[in-house]
Structure formats: structure tokens, C-alpha cells
Amino acid sequence: LRVDMPSVQKAVGMPGGDPTAVFAEVRQRKDVFR
């Protein structure tokens, strides 16, 4: 997963965000996805 890519950061609503925080957000969304 390329959490340092602007497109991924924008998709989770964290443009310019810290890659660690973006990764945590992606993981949280994955865990609650149904």
C-alpha cells in the first residue's frame, strides 16, 4: 500500500497527511468494511 501517494491520502480525506496516520486510517476502514 502506498500511503505516501497523494491520491491515496486524498481518498481517505487526509491530503498531505503523515503516512503512518494515513495507513492507520486505511486499516481502520478495512476493519469495519462490510
pTM: 0.79
- Phi (first) and psi of residue 11, to 5 degrees: -60, -30
- Return the beta strands (E) in the chain as ranges: none
* pLDDT tens-digit readout, 1-34: 799 999 999 999 999 999 999 999 999 999 988 7
* Domain residue extents for the chain: 1-34
pLDDT given at position 25: 95
Distance CA 21, CA 30 (A): 14
pLDDT given at position 1: 77
Q: How far is CA 24 from CA 2, 27, in A?
A: 12, 5
pLDDT given at position 5: 96
pLDDT given at position 34: 77
Residues 20 and 12: beta-carbon distance below 8 Å: no
